Chain A
Amino acid sequence: MTLRVLAAMSGGVDSAVAAARAAEAGHDVTGVHMALSSNPKSYRSGARGCCTLEDSRDARRAADVIGIPFYVWDLAERFDRDVVQDFVDEYAAGRTPNPCLRCNEKIKFAALLDKALALGFDAVCTGHYARLDDGVLRRGVDEGKDQSYVLAVCTREQLAHAMFPLGDTTKADIRREAERRGLRVADKPDSHDICFIADGDTRGFLAERLGAAPGPIVDTSGEVVGEHDGAYSYTVGQRKGLRIGRPAPDGKPRYVLDISPVNNTVTVGPREALDVHEITGERPVWLAAPPAGPHDCQVQLRAHGEVYDCTAGVEGDLVRIRLHAPAKGVATGQAAVLYDGDTVLGSATIAATDSVFA
């Protein structure tokens, strides 16, 4: 069946090949580059991110090669509100957000999709590495590139209008295919980090928006061992950049165990204290039927992170996830994505853990 497909084109190789594949499959494809900054130059320069003028031109050039219409849609306001501001707010609240996930949830498969549907499109196509068959979301075959984690926050309704043509292919093959198709972005470097933080300096970005807020760094006994410029710039499990003058009594490295925005305190301690056995997730999204009782499955707690065996169950509005072996450095605000093998069952936002200091 020929669908009217809106291909979101970042200017990178993945979304270009995805659009080409959708067109080759016989769909009626229109390319759209999302302008996510009202002042594009303020974003990452060079060809690494997904928000620069150069990226917009790369996307246009790819669309021309594929032979599809191409437009730039201004989604800067929505992006700033739902992704950038959310990112800042989450850090300010002591959590660790994943903006790519938020962008999928609020921009690509919300603002962009809604507008596309209203304008008569049937689906939004992206270059994500994930497989989607009959509403079943699975990991992409390229384990290193798999992006099912950042898509797992999307609802069934959102995914019903999504198309991920790259899930069955490895990145290396996509690059070869791009070259074969004459797409000049074939050897463009992968994007990394956070597209709206131009220099990759997340701490500096947050400091600029939240201001300096010096406070104590304490150890597990409550003793002050250092000072920080703002609790928001720490992540649970973080080891580097703590700037603690004196070593721990046992001489072992110390890790961030807890961030408390209320009293502006960062707690550090030994690696063992990071152990988490149980996670409480909120705002669950189920792609499969919610488990009726305790359900044995796997959980992933951060993008490209380790996968743990677990038993998950629904408790009211929450999801309780019991890990069969402890995980380390689980940050609230990240998504807990439940898998059965390579199939996504659902996801929830990590609200609390049983870590001693959480």
Chain B
Amino acid sequence: MIPSENEWMDALIARHGPELHKRFSSATVAVCGLGGLGSNIAIALARAGVGKLLLIDFDHVDITNLHRQQYKADQIGRCKTDALAENILEIAPYTKVETVMARITEDNFADILKDADIVCEAFDNAESKALLVNGVLEQLPGCYLVAASGMAGMDASNTIKTRKITKRFYLCGDEVSDVSDTIGLVASRVMLCAAHQAHAVLRILAGEYDV
């Protein structure tokens, strides 16, 4: 049986304390790209009790995603936005989830992301990453940005790190492992990077800005 909303929130408060829970539950976090990074980031944030998640992707679940992304075999062919929203609500049923099935471009990102307190860049493509990072930092001055670069391949876990580039811009990853130079993305190493991003988000919400 699924617990009531009060039971759910009481359990989170018992874990995190009332102050942190208030900060997490009143936040809106956008996740741009719902692949290996984004699907893991979103689930970590939902488990921690982040109040509202804005999930953005244009793609469908494919069999080649399942070795690292948080989807299930019977979700192949579904929109990633719908499939991930469903999975999140099974895990954390009182999360407010809003989905946007669209490709983020220079023309639409500011409108889509305008209500987010923090934006997670979780794209696959390097040029798309740079476009979103520059766009958010230039046009959404009230927003924090947590981006990722370099998490492909089988290199050691401890090369993945979080750096603070500006007051509002955090970067996670090893910054060098390009997917095209490696065997590709491996579940555990992508999850490491996603966990860095999710934890950077929770620390910002907690008022802890150092890395």
* A, B assembled together: no
Question: B: which residues have CB within 8 A of A?
Answer: none
